[in-house]
Chain A
Amino acid sequence: MHIVVPVKLVPDLVEELVMDESGAALDASAVRLVLSEFDDHAIEQAILLKERSGGQVTVVAPAVEGADEVLYTAAAKGADRLVRLTNDFERGMNNHGLARALAEVLKTLQPDLVLTGVQAHDDLDGSLGPLLAEYCGMPYVGYVAGLALAEGKAVARKEYPGGLAAEMEITLPAVLGIQAAERPPRYVAVSKVRQAMKTATIAETRVAGLEPGGGPAITRLFLPEAGRQAVMIEGSVEEIAARLVAIFKELGLL
């Protein structure tokens, strides 16, 4: 069983987001890229499957700033092979372009199963999984939280609203969009990542294209006015608590 996990790095939302001069993109110099949290779950799910039933896990990342650390961290968690895609990623890419590039790479990697995060917070042209599935001619099921493999099939627990779930049977090879791994993504110590940097190797694959066709062009990015509606309470923690107690009284809670 060969499981491939293509990951994306996305702007860290903990940092302040600043627009560039065009007003239609984030200022790349002010953005810190981190692993998309759903991709972290996809890596975890792949490693859980490997631990349960054997096989090999390959993690693939585009060569953007921070990619090597993401790949070595995956190795420290148990990934067997690391692949870095090279191209002029600084010019930006959308998921259609990335999916077309990945589809070429998957022809060589020949996976039985591809796990992606069900979404990334910067997706504007759909999420990666369904696009990749179609470019590879594989079926796709998303919102997956829980997964078992048996005889050329995957049985996935797909989430619906309200706590309802569906058990879907999918013929392999397939692409699945992971909402949550069966267990929270494991923590690895920095020392283990450092060790992986010495022992693991990253294979480099140059990908073609990355034409942005398939997504929309943005004319303007803006921050919604946070607090537009909210009455903001200022002051020390004690003062905020006192005001909240008064509000609770107004609302009839006390």
Chain B
Amino acid sequence: MHAGYGEAARRLEIARRMPEKNDFGIVFLVIGLFLVFLGLGMFIPAAVDAAIDNPDWQVFVVCACFVTFIGGLLFLLNRGDYSEISIRQGFLITLSTWVAIPLFGALPFVYSDLDLSYTDAFFEAMSGVTTTGSTVITGLDGLPPGILLWRSLLQWIGGGGIIVMGVAILPMLKVGGMQLFKIAAFDVSENFIPRSVKLALSLSFLYIGLTMICALMLWLAGMTAFEAACHAFTTLSTGGYSTSDGSIGHFDSAVIDYVLSFFMLLGSLPFILYLKVLKGQPMGLLRDSQVRWYLLMLGVVIGALTLWLWTGGRFEFDDALRYTTFNVISVITTTGFATMDYTSWGMLSVAVFFFIMFIGGCTGSTSGGIKIFRFQIMFGVLKSQIKRLLWPNGVSVVRYNGRTINHSAVESVFIFVFLYLAGVMLLALALTLTGLDFVTALSGAGTAMSNVGPGVGILIGPAGNFRDLPDMAIWLLSFGMLLGRLELFAVLVLFSPQFWRS
């Protein structure tokens, strides 16, 4: 009798320690769902290739069928009565989805005429989905349209995914800083789920609409309809894949540069604030302190670099303004388009571009990087510390957007920035061990973690390519991109034993 109770208790304890079947079942189910749509998405480049009689359409059709089949299988095999998903499962789903999409999205790159190794193909797909924009492919100008479109679509899907995730999922996981945007439409304290779906839908609608308008304006500015569509996909998503090896420099058009600059900027602002503008608050964007800081900083950097290039006699004023506006916006929004090799402008520009790649855009946008709001909060803390030194008995609080920020939010910002910089250093160190020089390793780590695209240096600079990097470096950079895209915590949390405890 006693032994029976002991056995039952032991079994119960084992069952308690084992991850619930549902823990993984639901993860596979959601991955399956995403893969089905990814597979269906592959039919779009297949149709484009078929329309011009390019044999690559067969590759896309086979890959599409395979991915849809695997996705469908995962979905159907794990179909069950899951009404709710826990926070723990939310983390698992978030990470596994962002790994599964490039894993399967890489297949067309492997089997097409590009003849890429799976390592390179995975890098290309991960760079796409995380909207980084680093590439291992050369000879883009001669590639079939299907492959070019697929690269662009991956970035577009990734950009859309990060906006939706940024407002619907990450705040619940306390990642990404969107919990600081306490507005009624996505207050997590009550009735969150139905509102978040509506919010996700309206943001997606806006994202799709803006992409189309961007494509139309690029078409009007002189791109072909296909080029305009591909670049619109990679501009709003702040991805940076182009249809040409010369990136946007290939078009050599001031109008195209300014149109792209405008839409890159739109992609790097909080999408949630566009809804406010649509709700009849046209100044809703500028009332946000993050947006004001961001625009001010952009103005200062662009103004200073323009003056430096102009007074240095390198360019005429209008050219200096055009090139700095485009390239600064491209790097700071973490898009990664290039019109020229800005590292050849001199050491000041190398230093400026290296540092601004870490800043990134606003939270709730498609941009990567540390994000402006974290700098604002750190600046607020600095101000508060100085006040405390001057008036030791005074009360000083840290404010953001007119609201007092609590201690845990401040703490999370500092932990994020510390982890971010530590991550860049560690990644750079690991890249150095693969045989890369220090500049390439450091800028490669920075560009991957910030999801920018080009780095600094001859090898991976704006005029370079990631193809010549060793395989180990390629995998490390892919991991860095994922870390940066998911704001570190969503990935690092899985390395904590506490996470896996029942």
Is the A/B pair a real complex? no
